[in-house]
Structure 1
Amino acid sequence: MALAGLHAAHAAEPIKAGFVYIGPTGDHGWTYSHDEGRKLLEAQSNGSVKTTFVENVPETADAERVFRDLAQKGNKVVFGTSFGYMNQMAKVAKAFPNTIFMHATGYKTAPNLGVYDVRTYEGAYMLGVVAGKMSKGNKLGVVASIPIPEVIRNINAFTLGARSVNPAITTRAIWVNSWFDPGKEREAALALIAQGCDVLMQNTDSPAVVQAAQEKGVLAFGWDSDMTKFGGKAHLAASVLNWGVIYKKTVDEVAAGTWKSGDIWWGVKEGAVNIDNFGPAVPAPVKKLAEERRDAIKAGKLHPFTGPLKEQSGKEFLAAGKIFGDGDLKKMNFYVEGVEGSIPK
């Protein structure tokens, strides 16, 4: 195998790994969490891995240029950290068969192209449990990014977690059609608050939602990382991602010549997602309940999407005791019961 041969020939040289980010490393959300994973990879490598990154790369032809450049510069593995990079990465992977490409949240694979993701819906479910206990008006809001299955799944999981402790809960989402746009995120948060939502979650990358919640005296969550410093009174808890465990596994396999294309989807069980950074507003019994749900997920005793479950219309889509499998979760394109409004076309 060509990669194994490269490894043998350059055993003393550090493995070079390149990272491509959709937003800035200072977004305190998605890109920030990926960069923390990159730093952890490098810190744990004892000099055997050398990383580089390019931030603020749009999901356009520009991404193709960046992937090509990183491959030409000798990076043995290139990580693309946004769904919209998929076609560009698949194209470049064909041109560089001796470089490993890893695409976050995608579904296209090739002999040298794999996909990876974190089960963010597990974090959303755990936040929902807290939200269901903390909401006084039974109305939750989500500032949503782009209507793809990943985000729809998170809204649904958040609602299911909340309704598991408070069946009166309803959720509404406002879509901003961007992963990182602090202005739009703030506007959406304020609109949700004006509609009576007293606990907010987000599937966007900036701390603008937490800041707006603090300003208006409602509650919110950190998403992808701890956002306490942006609104300590509002911040209930955070769904924290640890991409480092996936990055280390991948680079270790590339270094050993054992990497194979596939689909990594890790969650609480593998240490890739956790509920953490609880704020002072969260009563001890609520924190304990959320951590018990986390531990049950970790032990395989709880799956957020376990039947009986109904669609928004009230029609049952999953029978009692059944689990909505990974294949179905990855294609999710409908709201569950309790979510109000419609998904943008």
Structure 2
Amino acid sequence: MYKNLAATAVAACYCLFAPQGAFSQTKAAPVTPPLKVAVVYVAPLGDAGWVHQHEAARQALVAALGVKVQATYVENVAEGPDAERVIRDLARQGNQLIFTPSFGYMEPTLTVAQEFPNVKFESITGYKTTSNVAAANARYYEGRYLAGIAAGRMTRTNLAGYVAGFPIPEVLQGINAFTLGMRSVNPQAQVKVVWLNEWFNPGRERDAAMTLMNQNADVMAFHTGSTAVMVAAQERGKLAVAYHSDMRKVAPDAQIVAVTHQWGDYYTARAKAVLNGSWTSGSVWGGVKAGMIRVGDFGSKVPKAVQVEVLARQKDIAQGKLHPFYAKDAVRDNQGREVILPGKTLSDADILGMNWLVEGVLGKTQP
């Protein structure tokens, strides 16, 4: 099922997303507190990672709104039929706002939303909207580019490893931005990719990391759901970029930097909107400037000069002075085709429909 969704995403180009947010003008009636909110997690709840960050957002919502909300969650729900069943059960239980933060939850969310028109749904990383389904995503690629700068400065073998889930545009954007960031400070750097075709499998994530490190990668990155890559790098005395959240707890020596996702403000704002009757459907695609992506949490091995450089570039992105997919000179993919013309910046539509890997990446867009 996921492969079909990925193909659909490429065809649709995620074109419903707006840079900071675009919502319809049709508003609902206010809700009498407490508002019942539910969140569905695609993997088990842990101390770090994708699910951890959304749990942090749920807790931030509760802290901000107190007795005005009752917010619960269901963890480790597989994409597909299981997700549809769980989302439907949550709607039947009287939840008025349901967050579904996984790309493979998009179609199940849409199906259930048709059956419960008075329930509001937030499809996180989905791209389709209806009158009661809003979509939100973050510009993860901005953080990836910044992490690439740190990796480019820190590598000694000029080879980074990248453990990736599925070859959808969001993941390709991250790999390409990371590679461009590395090569902006280290033109000899390369990135080798291993595809897993699943988001959460700590055993396979670890095996892939070990394989890449055996092939001379001394810096690891990943787009999967656990901390397994970080733990593997820690054990092998290598370096790694944490993703989703700060992972120094499990990799205190390995972590060079973390790309963290900040969902708390979004969750809280959307719950407030349901409560006061201002909730509307629409889409949002925010990055560093919107506070949805942040790079920091540097490890002890990262020189101060590298930290300063990365934070300066983060400020440049926030101010619109730097774009990861701007080409001073022509940018080519790893098949030799020109994908960004000299002096041009990729449009949002081109970024959202990305289906290529940039020069410097050792790998293909399919496993």
* 1:179–1:204 Cα contact (<8 Å) kept: yes
Q: CA deviation at 1:2?
A: 10
Cα distance in structure 1, aligned partners of 2:273 and 2:343? 37
Pair 327,27 (structure 1): closer, same or farther in 2 beyond 3 Å: farther
Query: In structure 2, the residue corresponding to 1:230 is in which secondary structure?
Result: coil
Moved over 2 A (4+): 1-5
| Matched residue type, 2:229 | V
Give the conservation status (yes or no) of the 8 Å contact 2:50–2:244. Answer: yes
Write out aligned runs for 1:59-74 (5 A). Answer: 59-74=79-94
Pair 1:90 & 2:110 matched? yes
1:106 aligned partner: 126
Report if aligned partners of 1:80, 1:102 keep a CA contact under 8 Å in 2: yes
Q: Once structures 1 and 2 are overlaid, which stretch shifts more, 147-156 or 312-321?
A: 312-321
Q: Secondary structure at the match of 2:121?
A: strand
Q: C-alpha displacement at 1:343, in angstroms?
A: 1.9
Say which SS state the counterpart of residue 46 (structure 2) adopts: helix
Which structure 2 residues correspond to residues 92-171 of structure 1 after superposition, within 5 A?
A: 92-171=112-191
Query: What residue in structure 2 maps to residue 295 of structure 1?
Result: 315
> How far has the Cα of 1:179 moved from its partner?
1.1
Match of 1:215 in 2: 235
Q: Distance in 2 between matches of 1:266 and 1:289?
A: 23
> What is the letter of the counterpart of residue 4 of structure 1?
A
Shift of 1:275: 0.9
Q: Is the 2:36–2:71 Cα contact (8 Å) retained in structure 1?
A: yes
Aligned residue number for residue 316 of structure 1: 338
Pick from 267, 273, 287 the counterpart of residue 293 of structure 2: 273
Deviation at 1:215, TM superposition (A): 1.3
How far apart are residue 256 of structure 1 and its match? 2.0
- List per-residue Cα deviations over 1:268-287 (Å, max 9, x = no partner): 11111111210111001100
Q: Distance in 1 between matches of 2:58 and 2:316?
A: 29
What does the per-residue CA deviation read over 1:67-99, in whole Å, with 9 as the maximum and x for residues that have no partner?
A: 111111221111111111111111111111111
Residue 178 (structure 1) aligns with: 198
Are 2:73 and 1:49 equivalent residues in the alignment?
A: no
8 A contact 2:219–2:238 mirrored in 1: yes
How far is 1:253 from its partner? Answer: 1.6
Higher relative contact order (CA 8 A, sep 6+): 2
Q: Which moved more, 1:331-340 or 1:258-267?
A: 258-267
Please say which of residues 185-194 and 101-110 is displaced more in the overlay: 101-110
Asked whether the 8 Å contact 2:139–2:285 carries over to 1, the reply is: yes
Counterpart for residue 196 of structure 1: 216
39, 42, 45: which one aligns with 1:19: 39
1:255 and 2:312 matched: no
Specify the code of the residue in structure 2 equivalent to 1:157: A
Distance 1:312 1:255 in 2: 49
State whether structure 2 residue 304 is matched by structure 1 residue 284.
yes
CA contact (8 A) 2:194 2:363 kept: no
Q: How much does 1:289 deviate?
A: 0.5
Aligned pairs (5 A) from 1:321-340: 321-340=343-362
The one-letter code matched in structure 2 to 1:180 is: F
Task: Give the distance between the partners of 1:314 and 1:60, measured in 2 at CA.
Answer: 37
Alignment gaps of 5+ in structure 2:
1-24
TM score, norm. by length of structure 2: 0.90
Where does residue 229 of structure 1 map in the other structure?
249
The one-letter amino acid paired with 1:29 is G
Please list the CA deviations of residues 17-51 of structure 1 after superposition, one character each: whole Å capped at 9, or x if unmatched: 11011011116111111111111111111322221
Kept in 2: contact 1:27–1:206 (CA 8 A): no
SS of the aligned residue for 2:344 comes to coil
Post-superposition Cα deviations, 1:188-211, rounded to whole Å, max 9, x if no partner, equal: 000000111110001012111111
> How many residues of Structure 1 are paired with residues of Structure 2 in the alignment?
341
Q: Contact 1:2 / 1:98 at 8 angstroms: preserved in 2?
A: no
Q: Distance between the aligned counterparts of 1:89 and 1:289, measured in 2?
A: 41
> Alignment partner of 2:38: what SS?
strand
Give the distance between the partners of 1:81 and 1:162, measured in 2 at CA: 29
